[in-house]
């Protein structure tokens, strides 16, 4: 499976980034071969619509699933429109490598409706969504 | 930008196709009495027989109608464009998605684009679509109203709460009044507080501007902001110092006004009758024409009328 993980750095040793839309990089990893491709998230700095822009990048790269800490409601709709499966719950302390290992073990839950906020499961999440996050 | 070019741009920005003078009423800080000043000058002018339009361009919280105790009437919807994509015509090139600065459009792999995020109606997607697959759908973002009361026409803009397109509504209400300009001797435009694009949009086409403030550190600070903006927009005019006898620093206000070459400062003192009429939703110039504040408003109205030969 081609799995996209939101990442703070360019290789699988880097820590994950728990916010999907605002993550600086995506690592697209073939979970069978562990071959990884890095993609810069050009949408991360957008004033508006970072989540949808990020989903476009991920969709264009042919990812089949996304693993992040929190996927905002717009990004959720976009990824679903591309039939990309969404998994949430990675922790900010994990490296991308550890996240893939956990993913293969089935540690992360698949989300079928937009979450109401980041952080469940220990992720810190900056939340790219539109103010649904509490204080 | 060189001075000449900037002047040319500003002149083009203010260009209008009618001769009715337009006076803006603004001030930077909120709660200084912009709408009170606007309503009272409008009534004082109307009472002199001047055919006056008052535009309430504070679309996030329009309350000119409340101060005049008039019902909002003659509603008209303010719409923006949202893209409607024709799947039959779409060639899937993705140009529209890349043109969308708000990332509102999304194109799933192998499918045609769809609108997912917030669209502000800029129409860039329509411009770039070579297949002509995008047509103009409409989304309502606000309303304009036209109410008439005792020789005065009040144009009100109201944004639907929660929408981002307030400056579209500002433009719509100003343009509705401008379209009727031939019916009037003078158009007054009451802006929102601040020195941002809604204020700029409201002051477009103004011939001069009254900047209302109060003698507090906040009033002083925001007066400087708005006077800087007015200079940028090449708009002259005067300062109205409301609550002039508050224990603040009038001197500093006067210094700032002079530094920004404002023509004069109109002072309105704390006036019990003004406060009373404000609370009752009746302009003081009509309820208590002898009140000290009414005298200032009448003088201001006379001055405006004389300036424009009305």
Q: What is the pLDDT of residues A2-47, one digit of tens each?
A: 999 999 999 999 999 999 999 999 999 999 999 999 999 999 988 8
Q: Which residues of B touch A56 (CB under 8 A)?
A: 97, 103, 106-107
CB contacts under 8 A, A 23-52 vs B, are 43, 46, 48-52
Out of B103, B114, B118, name the one closest to residue A53 (CB): B103
What is the domain partition of chain A in residue ranges? Answer: 2-110
Decide: B90 and B133 in contact? Cβ < 8 Å: yes
B117 and A43 within 8 Å at the Cβ level: the answer is no
Taking the CA atoms of residue B173, residue B224, residue B41 and residue B308 in that order, the dihedral angle to the nearest 10 degrees is -80
Residue A42: HSE in the Cβ half-sphere, 13 Å Cα cutoff:
8
pTM (predicted TM-score): 0.79
B116 and A83 within 8 Å at the Cβ level: the answer is no
Q: Write down the pLDDT at residue B155.
A: 98
Q: Stretch B108-113: mean pLDDT, rounded?
A: 92
Q: Rounded to a whole number, what is the distance in Å from the CA of A103 to chain B's nearest CA?
A: 24
Residue B198 in this model has a pLDDT that exceeds 90? yes
A49 and B107 within 8 Å at the Cβ level: the answer is no
Residue A99 in this model has a pLDDT that exceeds 90? yes
% pLDDT > 90, chain B: 91
Residue A120 in this model has a pLDDT that exceeds 70? no
Decide: B159 and B166 in contact? Cβ < 8 Å: yes
Question: Phi, psi at residue A57, to the nearest 5°?
Answer: -60, -45
Does domain B3-50+185-307 fall under CATH 3.30.70.20? My reply is no
Domain B79-140, CATH number (from 1.10.10.10, 3.30.390.10, 3.30.70.20, 3.90.1150.10): 3.30.70.20
Q: Write down the pLDDT at residue A123.
A: 41
What is the domain partition of chain B in residue ranges? Answer: 3-50+185-307, 79-140
Instruction: With both helix axes pointing from N to C terminus, report the angle between B292-307 and B34-47 in degrees, rounded to the nearest 10.
Output: 70
Q: How many CB pairs under 8 A join A and B?
A: 51
Q: What are the contacts of B17-21 at 24+ separation with CB within 8 A?
A: B18/B178, B18/B181, B18/B182, B20/B181, B20/B182, B20/B184, B20/B185, B20/B186, B20/B187, B21/B186, B21/B187, B21/B207, B21/B307, B21/B308, B21/B310
Q: What is the pLDDT of residues B35-64, one digit of tens each?
A: 999 999 999 999 999 999 999 999 999 999
Q: Write down the pLDDT at residue A117.
A: 64
**Burial (CB count within 10 angstroms: exposed 0-12, middle 13-18, buried 19+), residue B71:** exposed
Domain A2-110: assigned CATH number: 3.30.420.130
Q: How many CB atoms lie within 10 A of CB A134?
A: 8
Residue B100 in this model has a pLDDT that exceeds 60? yes
Q: What is the pLDDT of residues B182-191, one digit of tens each?
A: 999 999 999 9
d(CA A48, CA B150): 46
Q: Using 50, 70 and 90 to split pLDDT, how confident is the model at B150?
A: confident
d(CA A80, CA B207): 53
User: Six-digit token pair at B162?
Assistant: 């929660």
Q: Using 50, 70 and 90 to split pLDDT, how confident is the model at B3?
A: low
Q: Using 50, 70 and 90 to split pLDDT, how confident is the model at B76?
A: very high
The answer to whether A132 contacts chain B (CB < 8 Å) is no
Instruction: With both helix axes pointing from N to C terminus, report the angle between B292-307 and B272-280 in degrees, rounded to the nearest 10.
Output: 80
């Amino acid at each position: 499976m081609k799995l996209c993980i939101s990442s703070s750095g360019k290789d699988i040793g880097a820590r994950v980034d728990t916010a999907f839309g605002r993550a600086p990089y995506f690592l697209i990893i073939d979970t069978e071969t562990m071959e990884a491709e890095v993609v810069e998230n050009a949408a991360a700095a957008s004033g508006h619509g970072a989540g949808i822009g990020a989903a476009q990048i991920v969709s264009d790269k042919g990812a089949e699933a996304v693993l992040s800490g929190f996927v905002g409601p717009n990004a959720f709709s976009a990824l679903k429109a591309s039939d990309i499966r969404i998994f949430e719950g990675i922790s900010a302390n994990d490296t991308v490598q550890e996240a893939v290992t956990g993913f293969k073990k089935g540690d992360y839950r698949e989300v079928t409706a937009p979450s109401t906020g980041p952080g469940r499961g220990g992720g810190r999440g900056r939340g790219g969504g539109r103010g649904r996050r509490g204080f | 930008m060189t001075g000449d070019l900037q002047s040319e741009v500003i002149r083009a920005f203010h260009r209008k196709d009618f001769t009715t003078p337009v006076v803006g009423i603004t001030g930077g800080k909120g709660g200084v009495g912009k709408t009170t000043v606007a309503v009272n000058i409008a009534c004082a002018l109307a009472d002199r027989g001047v055919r006056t339009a008052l535009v309430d361009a504070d679309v996030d919280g329009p309350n000119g109608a409340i101060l005049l105790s008039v019902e909002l009437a003659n509603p008209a919807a303010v719409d923006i464009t949202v893209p409607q994509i024709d799947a039959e015509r779409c060639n899937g090139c993705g140009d529209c998605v890349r043109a969308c600065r708000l990332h509102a459009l999304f194109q799933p792999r192998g499918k045609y684009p769809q609108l997912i995020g917030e669209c502000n109606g800029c129409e860039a997607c329509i411009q770039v679509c070579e297949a002509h697959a995008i047509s103009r759908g409409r989304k309502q973002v606000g309303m304009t109203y036209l109410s008439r009361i005792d020789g005065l026409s009040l144009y009100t803009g109201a944004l639907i709460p929660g929408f981002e397109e307030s400056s579209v509504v500002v433009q719509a209400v100003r343009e509705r009044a401008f379209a009727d300009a031939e019916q009037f001797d003078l158009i007054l435009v009451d802006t929102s507080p601040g020195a941002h694009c809604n204020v700029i949009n409201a002051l477009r086409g103004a011939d001069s501007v009254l900047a209302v403030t109060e003698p507090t550190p906040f009033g002083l600070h925001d007066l400087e902001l708005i006077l800087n903006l007015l200079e940028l927009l090449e708009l002259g005019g005067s300062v109205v110092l409301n609550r002039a006898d508050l224990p603040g620093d009038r001197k500093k206000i006067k210094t700032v006004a002079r530094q920004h070459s404002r023509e004069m400062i109109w002072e309105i003192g704390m006036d019990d009758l003004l406060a009373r009429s404000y609370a009752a939703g009746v302009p003081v110039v009509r309820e208590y024409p002898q009140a000290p504040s009414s005298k200032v408003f009448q003088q201001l109205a006379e001055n405006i009328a004389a300036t424009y030969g009305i």
